[in-house]
Amino acid sequence: MAELASRYDHHAVEDRWYRFWMERGYFRPRGSGPVFSVVLPPPNVTGVLHLGHALNSTWQDILVRYHRMKGDDTLWVPGTDHAGIHTQMKVEELLRSQGRDRREMGREAFLEEAWAWRERYGGIILEQLKKLGVSVDWDRLRFTLDEGLSKAVVEVFVRLWEEGLIYRGDYITNWCVSCGTALSDIEVEHIEEPGSLTTIRYPLADGSGRFIAVATTRPETLLGDTAVAVHPDDPRWRDFIGRTAVVPLVERPVPIVADRAVDPEYGTGAVKVTPAHDPNDFAIGQRHSLPAVKVIGEDGRMTAEAGARYQGLTREEARELVLEDLRHQGLVVAEEPITHAVGHCEKCGTIIEPLLSRQWFVRIAPLAGPALEAVRTGAVRFVPERFAKVYLNWMTNIHDWCISRQLWWGHRIPAYYCDACGEVTVARTAPEACPRCGGPVHQDEDVLDTWFSSALWPFSTLGWPDITPDFSRYYPTSVLSTGYDIIFFWVARMIMQGIHFTGQRPFSVVLLHGLIRDREGRKMSKSLGNGVDPLQVVEAYGADALRMGLVMGTTPGNDLRYSEERIEAAARFANKVYNAVRFVRLNLEEEDRRRLEEDLPVVLSPADRWIRSRLARTVAAVGDYLDRFEFGEAARAIYDFLWDEYCDWYIELAKRRLKTSGPDRDAALATLVGVAREALALLHPFMPFLTEELWQALPHAGESLMVAPWPQAAGEDEAAEAEMRLVQDLIRTLRNLRAELKLPPSQAVDAVAVAEDGEAARVWRREAESVRLLARVEHLEVVEPGQTWRRPEPAISGVTLGGPVYVPLLGVVDIEQERRRLGKLLAEARAEQERVQRRLADRGFLDRAPADVVEATARQAEEVAARLARLAARLEELG
């Protein structure tokens, strides 16, 4: 057994035990037994640990440690994502600080710099995760650009191409002019911003002097208009359909078309159609065979197509100049301030430009069908269940996925173009020449969306497309734990790709956690300055405190408000448990340890039977909660058992017996050690470092708590629990009476407990010494049912499960002074009651105040009434 320091120091414990676990290979799967497998959602290679990582990693580690201790063949695969846009931005930022530019360097030189950056900085978050105690199998560490995972990406792309599910075409995409790449819809964050709705006259081309009024929030795009559209049933514009309007400033004649996509309630009911710069306009353009004029380029500046006056201006500059020119020509009808949702790049915050460009797409509908069915039939289950509806709604209305990105860092698209005949070849390996004409070929410059490779994560990390031993044994995985905010980014795509390419769901359960917000409920961000560095928390309080503090009170799918007080409370709990086990350890002599290791039979006291029964209930409850992913409830159950029942009750009850010798002391020690060992095992998934340190200090079998068996729920002892409830209630009542009298701990009192039945009398007499010590009672008189007795006067009384209890007051308190004290409290309570009742009788208050305030006031009234009743009873007892 290891010795324990006089106080718990997490700095001296955590790194030491993590090294111990790694050196002994405990994180590796055992290779036999029921399989439980998990893949770590790969953090960005650019990332650093934040509270969301800490919460999700803790949830997964709890599950993994729990299943490992249950004897399951447990595998947890770690890895990182290459984070295409983020990493390229980081490397370009580094190069700019050195006076270099990637375009001047060329692709190969840039990629060398990117890989070097990844080697220097790409593993930071993994080292930080180790500080949390995550028990992933580091021998199976993966990276999305690893050779094996890259092979899987190419295989998927080629197969989808061969199946006709990948195509290349000119479509409107979300273009980030800062990152210089297309983005998918779910990488665009829509933010409410002030803007202006401008109504503009478009003259008819017939010279009649008539015009059609068009409302727009983006006047600069009218330079690319190729039509005006109205709803076919809108009576205001019905006779305009089929006529020709003239686009102001560029004098382009365009048709006025009827299309049911137009909302007659928006603006004037007539809309300008710019197919190259709006997804809805693009769709209208497709239906009416309209040309697309691209007036904004990939750099966010106006093109030559916009006209010489505007060419080279930014979007914002062009908007101001266009409006100025329209006003000058008297074509502006109205300008109305509005607030509207504007798309921003989720990566860098730049306003998105819907832009016509040639991109690669995945045809989603054939992939979505089986993925929808998997959730509908329960093959894939969402926790909480309500998120299944969110998933099903999105998947039912899903659009084709733009998968190409105009970057250099990432999986380069395996498409090759013939320089001679233009033939496109998609292949697993680069062709030496064009298969059609034999001419030279060059590879597509674009790379794949990072989420394309992440969608393969559950099976590519296990060796697919090769049927490896890991893939055969550990796929499908058991649980995917992630945030509800990436159901669309990642979860849906994994389900689609997993079913399509392996024929099996990628996981059985999607476990979703919420966002961690600050104590005011705000999302944590750099701009607000309300973020929290988990490593600073670990430094101050320890990894176990951070883990327990994040888990306590959490439920799947719900957001969590972070407060340092939660972490402080978890740290106090760690110290409480440490001191309790240290107390046990200090009472263990060498001879005691020998007897405990021999597992000699002992005769258990009622208190021993009670704590063992409570342990059995806790084992059952914690296991049930963990099986249902209710981590907060599981943590609460073990917290309550250790703090309240083991530390505050059983240890206090056992102290007297430890000062004796013989069988009773042996029974107390055996129970103290055995229950502590099992409780530490229950706590281990939540607080692994503390529990390993304490378990090693107790008599035990095996090398590590991490691979010790999960506790089994032994039989519950209803009789022992019923008896203990009688004793606990008597002690609590006596303690409360002492507190009401404001007696110092050193002042002893007498007590008379009047048993209402023989069982209460028997138990109280047997446990009188424990009651006397824990309630600080000098003499306890137990009155049997039917026994003649005289109530002490004056006395203060309380009600217990077994009957009333009285504390004589003569010689304990100054009766007259106590009467005055209680009278003052009674007057204060009556005044408070009057104030609360007046408030509740005020119709204005009831009508105007929020419902929760009214409800709190009503509760306050009930509490004051109860306090008045108690005070009045106390005064009456004093005569």
Residues annotated within a binding site for ATP: 526
CB 109 within 8 A of CB 131: no
H or E segment and range at residue 729: helix 718-740
Cα distance between residue 487 and residue 464, in whole Å:
23
H or E segment and range at residue 327: helix 315-328
Compute CA 631 distance to the chain's CA centroid, rounded to the nearest angstrom: 12
H or E segment and range at residue 79: strand 79-80
Residues 6+ apart with CB under 8 A from 501: 156, 159, 456, 459, 464, 465
CB 277 within 8 A of CB 356: yes
CA atoms within 13 A on the CB side of 103: 2
Give the type of residue at 162. E
CB 276 within 8 A of CB 293: yes
How many DSSP H helices and E strands does the chain contain?
A: 30, 29
> Strand 181-183 vs strand 381-383: parallel, antiparallel, or unpaired?
unpaired
SS3 of residue 153 by DSSP = helix
The single-letter DSSP state of residue 712 is: P
Q: Scanning the structure block, which residue is given the tokens 């100054």?
A: 814
Cα distance between residue 117 and residue 99, in whole Å:
17
CB 495 within 8 A of CB 506: yes
Q: Scanning the structure block, which residue is given the tokens 């700019």?
A: 96
* Residues facing residue 244 across a β-bridge: 255
SS3 of residue 515 by DSSP = coil
The strand ranges marked E within 453-521 are 477-483, 507-513, 516-517
Nearest partner of 486 among 9, 23, 43, judged by Cα: 43
Q: What is the dihedral of CA 706, 709, 715, 716, to 10 degrees?
A: 10
Nearest partner of 400 among 176, 159, 173, 85, judged by Cα: 173
The two three-digit tokens of residue 657, written as one number: 């017996």
Burial string for 725-750 (b: 16+ CB within 10 Å, else e) reads ebbbbbbebbeebbebbebeeeeebb
Cα distance between residue 177 and residue 183, in whole Å:
11
Residue 165, class by beta-carbon neighbours within 10 Å (0-12 exposed, 13-18 middle, 19+ buried)?
A: middle
φ, ψ for residue 226 (rounded to 5)? -125, 5
Q: Which residue ranges are tagged as binding site?
A: 526
CB 713 within 8 A of CB 616: yes
